[in-house]
Amino acid sequence: MQETKISLETHVSKARVLIEALPYMRRFDGKTFVIKYGGHAMVDEALKKSFAQDVILLRQVGINPVVVHGGGPQINQTMKQMGLQPQMIDGLRVTDKETVNVVEMVLAGKVNKDIVNLINLNGGRAAGLSGKDGHTILARKRPPRRKAQTSAEQIEELVDLGWVGDVERIDTTLLEMFKNSDIIPVVAPVGVDRKGETYNINADAVAGKVAAALTAEKLILLTDVPGVLDHNKQLISRLEANEATRLIKEGVIAGGMIPKVETCLSAQRGGVQAAHIIDGRIEHALLLEIFTDQGIGTILR
């Protein structure tokens, strides 16, 4: 009898979860979510499966997910296998002609198709593309930047990162076509300039620009941290734009979190309704953030 009671309580608990999710499903029906997929969620097998299941469920309930992915560790591994030494400056990859060829091969080839295959194997339908397809991502070369040296004189060195680009424009034609189908687009952050040159672009930045171009309801960045933390290292569940700017100036938001927050703020200025920074190390992180009252990460409004 006790076992039956426990089993019944478990089923009731599952029903309550569905009831909690129902208003969100109604609210977001027909809306576009741009999801930046990266970090540990791309490596751990259980997390990879849960991510695929999450985006498939989003599509099934009427949401239009667009996946933009990274792949830095995979690029590094392939370069080393080819006898090339990855070089980073201030967190940015120095990308010579040989390196950009590897980047395109790994991102638009191996990683992109692995994610497509993952979604397909779990019951969804996905198609991969890079910025070259349909001129989706028009890029421009990132100008040389100054890098402070560690010498006593603190001499600044002008550094050219090579074939590293910024997004100039997003052409949404292909992405809009997917919107009217059951196919989930998976985008590799490789762009092309007006002369046909290929550029490696930061995946967070691409996701933000794609979200703005599509006037997405949400931009969601999967990371390897809980979200934005306050000065006591506690999660900030909700963050206003002016508060985020203040925390950056005060150094509370620092390091790699700064460009993520700035990407979110830029996307919102471009028309995105809300941006989320969530912990991709948690199974079904997307569903927990979107379809529960509390969420698990930081939402910027």
CATH code of the domain in which 173 resides: 3.40.1160.10
Is the residue at 220 inside a domain? Answer: yes
Length of the chain: 301
Is the residue at 8 inside a domain? Answer: no
Measured in degrees and rounded to the nearest 5, phi and psi for residue 130 equal -115, 180
Rg for the chain, CA atoms, rounded: 20
Is the residue at 292 inside a domain? Answer: yes
Is the residue at 18 inside a domain? Answer: no
pLDDT in tens, 165-192: 999 999 999 999 998 899 999 999 999 9
Is the residue at 15 inside a domain? Answer: no
Is the residue at 114 inside a domain? Answer: yes
Task: Pick left, alpha or beta for residue 218 (phi over 0 → left; psi -120 to 50 → alpha; otherwise beta).
Answer: beta
Task: Find the domain containing 50 and state its range.
Answer: 31-300
Q: Does the pLDDT at position 9 exceed 60? A: yes
Instruction: Give the pLDDT confidence score for residue 1 in this predicted structure.
Output: 53
* Confidence tier at 281 by pLDDT (50, 70, 90): very high
Q: Give the count of domains, the chain.
A: 1
Is the residue at 12 inside a domain? Answer: no
Is the residue at 136 inside a domain? Answer: yes
Please tell me the pTM assigned to this model: 0.92
pLDDT in tens, 139-163: 999 988 766 555 555 556 678 899 9
Q: Which residues contact 295 (CB under 8 A, 6 or more apart)?
A: 237, 276, 278, 288, 289
